[in-house]
Amino acid sequence: MLIADEPTSSLDVTLQAEIRGRLKTFCKEFRPSMILITHDMGIVARMADEVAVMYAGNIVEYTNVKDLFQNHYHSCTWGLFQSIPRLDRPNRRFQPIQGNPPDMLNLPSQCPFLPRCAKATTQCRVEPMPPLRELSPGHKVACYNTMDTRWTSSYDDED
């Protein structure tokens, strides 16, 4: 098992490409399972088969890479996609996730993303964090507010 925690963070694009190449070569040669920990959705798109989006130590969305880029249901995942620069829309405004991460030593009984979530419902405020549930084959989300809806992001839509 290979665990790579932010292997390309703070590197220029040339070094990033070299690290990606070395990781791919290593994986082809030795065929380990690899856990890639990153906030860089470009690295995820190039290197991952399956993705678990985590927040405060919990998996909030899990699916294959293609499905995640086409359909993201959790507001934390939506926030990640808002951080992707678009060359075709250089004037697009990034939409940061409001608020602060929770205190990991004093997590709430509800979803830890609740104070930062734009889609929170009453159920989110009174129930414990929901378990992962399958919305479509292989696509699981830990959220009460996913009834046949997905986030529409400026990453997907036209201005």
**Identity of the amino acid at 75:** S
Q: Which residue, among 75, 70, 27, has the nearest Cα to 53 in the 3D structure?
A: 75
Residues of the chain with pLDDT under 70: 147-159
pLDDT at res. 150: 54
Contact 50, 64 (CB under 8 A): yes
Domains and CATH numbers, the chain: 2-141 (3.40.50.300)
